[in-house]
Amino acid sequence: MKILGIETSCDETAAAVIEDGRVICSNVVASQAEIHARYGGIVPEVASREHMLAIVPVARQALADAGLELRQLDGVAVTHGPGLAGSLLIGVNAAKGLALAEGLPFLGVNHLEGHVYAAWLEEVDPEREPGFPLVCLIASGGHTDLILMQDHGRFTLVGRTRDDAAGEAFDKAARVLGLGFPGGPEIQEASKASNGKEPPFTRPRIKNSLDFSFSGLKTAVLRRAEERGLYPPSDDSEPRPQDVANIAGAFQDAAVDVMVQRTVEAAGRYRAKGVLLGGGVAANLLLREEMDRHSPVPVIVPRPSLCTDNGAMIGAAAYYRLRSGAQHQWDLDVVPDLRLG
C-alpha cells in the first residue's frame, strides 16, 4: 500500500510516499526555518504564504522521487491538526485536490500520531514489532505530551506541559543567549563548549502528576543571562562565549532531566514494554542518550531527521488507519487544537 503523506502544520512544507507504513519511497521537506529565523520565531502569515508557494512543487517532487504517478497511489493523507490554521489549510486543500483528481482514499492525520509513527519508518523490524503498551514522549515546538499507546490507533494522554512546550523553551532560551533559531540544535551545539561549572537549574516538578512545566526554567535562564550581562543584548558588551555555553549546557541538562524522569516514571506506572520518542526535541542527542541510560525498557527513537516535521511520518500513521478501513470525507476541516488521546 503506497500512501502520499502531506505535512504543512507549522513551518515545513513536506510530502513523502510511504509503502506499508515503513518503507520511504521518497521524502521531500522544504524548510522555511531560514525565513523565520529573521524574526526569531514563526510568523503564521509568512508560513501560510510559503506553504502556498511550495506545496505543488514539493508534492510533485515526492511523486517523481518515488517514480510514481498519482493514480498508482493507494491513498492521500494529510495533517489536519494540531497546528497553525492557515498552514494546515494549505496542506488539507492540496491533499483533497490530489485525492479527488484520481478518486483515491483520503485521510486526515493527527500530527502527534505522525510523530509517534516516525519510529516505524525503516527502524522497526516488521517481524519484531514493539510490544504494547508503549509510553511515547512527543516533544516539539508546540507540544510536550506523554502518551500511552495501547495498540495501533489507541492512545491515551497521560501527561502534558502546563505551560511552554519543551521545544519552545529551547527556542526561548536560545534567543535569550543570543543564539539562532530554531533554538534546539543551537543549544545542543553551544552546550558542547560548556565547562560544566554552571550551577544547575532547579528541576521543575509538579507533585503527583506526570505533567511538565518549562516556563520557570525559561525564566531562570533569562535571570541568569541578565546577571551575566548577556541580556538584553547591547552593542558594547563583550561577547562571553563561555557563559553562553555554560548556561546553555545547564539549561539542556535540566530540560532533559525533567523529560527523562517523567517518561521513566510513566513507563513504570503503566508497565510499558517500550519507550518511544518523537517530535523535534527527540532529535536532541543528550535526551536520546539519557533516556537510553535510565529507561528500564527499550527506547525506540527515529533518526534525528525523522524527528522533526516531515511527510513520511504522516504516510506511516495513515497506513495503519487506512488498512483498518478508516477514511475521511471531503468536508474534513482543519483542527488547530486537535488532541491525541
The contact set with Zn ion (CB under 5 A) reads: 140, 309
Q: Rank residues 110 and 140 by Cβ distance to ligand KG4 and give the closer one.
A: 140
What is the contact mask toward ligand KG4 in residues 258 to 297, using x (rule: CB under 6 A)? ---------------------xxx-xx-------------
Q: Which C-beta is closer to ligand KG4: that of 181 or that of 319?
A: 181
Give whichever of 145 and 309 is closer to ligand KG4, judged by the CB atom. Answer: 309
Q: In this structure, is the dihedral angle defined by the CA atoms of residues 86, 88, 91 and 97, taken in order, positive or negative?
A: negative
Rule CB under 6 A: choose which of 117, 120, 155, 170 binds ligand KG4. 170
Determine if 161 is a binding residue for ligand KG4 (CB under 6 A).
Answer: no
Which residue in the set 140, 161, 246, 295 belongs to the binding site for ligand KG4 (CB under 6 A)? 140
Question: Does 253 engage in binding with ligand KG4 (CB under 6 A)?
Answer: no
Classify residue 216 as exposed, middle or buried by CB count within 10 Å of its CB (0-12, 13-18, 19+).
Answer: middle
Q: How does DSSP assign 179-211, residue by residue? A: --SSHHHHHHHHHTT--S-SPPPPPP--TT---
Spatial separation of the C-alpha atoms in residues 39 and 153, rounded to whole Å: 37
Query: Of all helices (H) and strands (E), which one includes residue 78?
Result: strand 75-81
CB of 79 to ligand KG4, least distance (A): 10
- Residue 249 binds which of ligand KG4, Zn ion, none (CB < 5-8 A, kind-dependent): none
Name the minimum Å distance from CB 314 to ligand KG4: 12
Distances (CA, A) of 305 to 28, 35, 115, 117, 311: 11, 20, 12, 14, 12
- Least distance between Zn ion and beta carbon 115 (Å): 6
* 3-state secondary structure (DSSP) of residue 172: helix
Among the listed ranges 183-191, 216-224, 241-249, 316-324, the one in contact with ligand KG4 (CB under 6 A) is: 183-191
* Per CB under 6 A, 79 contacts ligand KG4: no
Choice from 113, 145, 164, 171 touching ligand KG4 (CB under 6 A):
171
114 neighbors 79 (Cβ within 8 angstroms): yes
Q: Which long-range contacts (CB under 8 A, 24 or more apart) does 152-155 make?
A: 152/320, 152/324, 153/320, 153/321, 153/324, 155/113, 155/116, 155/340, 155/341
Partner from ligand KG4, Zn ion, none binding residue 167, C-beta < 5-8 Å depending on class: ligand KG4
With a CB cutoff of 8 Å and minimum separation 6, the contacts of 59 are 4, 6, 15, 94, 98
CB of 278 to ligand KG4, least distance (A): 8
Give the nearer residue to ligand KG4 in terms of CB position, either 263 or 308: 308
Vertex 251, ends 248 and 256: CA angle to 5°?
120
Where do contacts with ligand KG4 occur on this chain (CB under 6 A)?
10, 140-142, 167, 170-171, 182-185, 188, 279-281, 283-284, 308-309
